[in-house]
Amino acid sequence: MVKDVLIEKREIMYRDALNEALKEEMARDDKVFIMGEGIAQRGGSYKVTVGLLEQFGKKRVFDTPISENGFTGAGIGAALTGMRPVVEILFIDFTMLILDQLINQAAKFRFMSGDTASVPLVLRTQGGVGNGLAAQHSQSLEALFYHIPGLKVVMPSTPYDAKGLLKAAIRCDDPVIFIEHKLLYMNKGEVPGGEYIIPLGQADIKRTGTDLTIIAWSGMVPKVMQAAEILAKEGISAEVVDPRSLVPLDKMTIINSVKKTEHVLIVQEAARRGGVGSDISSIIQEEAFDYIDSPVKILGGLNTPCPFNLNLEKVVIPQVEDIIRAAKEVIYAV
């Protein structure tokens, strides 16, 4: 549950909220340690781990070789002995190198041990397009991990969510894939100064509305919020639901919103084909079919590798104007 020790109101960046979560959890529990490429002396490529080496020392904050499979395996081993490692993979694209460790080992160990052992591992990584990083550094791969039983998948969209969810992930006894978005690190938002935890599996209604439910997560949430503002000026009241964690998924918040608005648009940055949006759509069709007045629409990225060119990069994922157009198609469907 969310704790009520909220002191000061302030605005901080997404990356600083993550830094605070790591700092607080490492101070609270000496079993928590962090490792990854360039996360110690350099403070990480996105400056999430700045200052942690100086505060906690090289035994709890350390750089690894460029060997994702090797150090992820070390993290899983440490988790099995009772430690709580936070392993950073610089780009989600590089998780392709550790799939055996994650899928065949970490995800299945609790089940295969007859619930006698667990893997309290957090794998922090970042995904999504942005900054012209091209096809091998711009993927949205949450659907891959969403499909695997035994893994939890978290994708915060705001600084407040980033801090509360990362603290919850570190305290979780199962492996958590914690996916940050590269374009959110510098975003500012209100984060209380006190202790708080956001439970995994608790969606957030970012904006209330009556005409249309828009479901989005991670980097799509700011775009959807902009679109909702514009739609409101045109007389369309959109409710924005952010699942925050995809596994576990808060189905009830989604279904209750759908029952109220009777229209649904799902927006994902990942390629449209085989995405998480398709599964959420199927859940709505199965559990709220009698309440929807038009087909559930999914707006996703194009089924293509991400181009390097910045203008083309914008074409392959949904933009604000695309969301507005899709919302109107749902509302005015005949």
Tell me if 172 sits within 8 A of 200, measured CB to CB: yes
Name residue, tokens 């942690």.
52
Residue 265 CA, distance from chain mean position: 19
Residue with tokens 């199965």, as numbered in its chain: 286
DSSP calls for 208-229: --SSEEEEE-TTHHHHHHHHHH
CA distance 288 to 105: 36
Reduced DSSP (H G I as helix, E B as strand, rest coil) percent helix, strand, coil of the chain, to 5: 40, 20, 40
Tell me, yes or no, if 68 is annotated catalytic: yes
CB-count burial class (<10 Å; 0-12, 13-18, 19+) for 254? buried
> DSSP states of 106-158 as a string?
ITTHHHHTTSS-----EEEEEES--TT--TTS----HHHHHTSTT-EEE---S
Q: Nearest CA to 31 among 70, 71, 60?
A: 60
Please indicate whether residue 137 is annotated as part of the active site.
Answer: yes
Q: Choosing from 137, 142, 180, 181, which is the catalytic residue?
A: 137
**b/e code 213-223 from CB counts within 10 Å (16+ = b):** bbbbbbbbbbb
Residue 92 near residue 219 (C-beta atoms within 8 A)? no
Catalytic residue chosen out of the listed positions 20, 68, 269, 313: 68
Q: Does residue 174 come out as left (phi exceeding 0), alpha (psi in the -120 to 50 range) or beta? A: beta
Active site residues: 68, 137
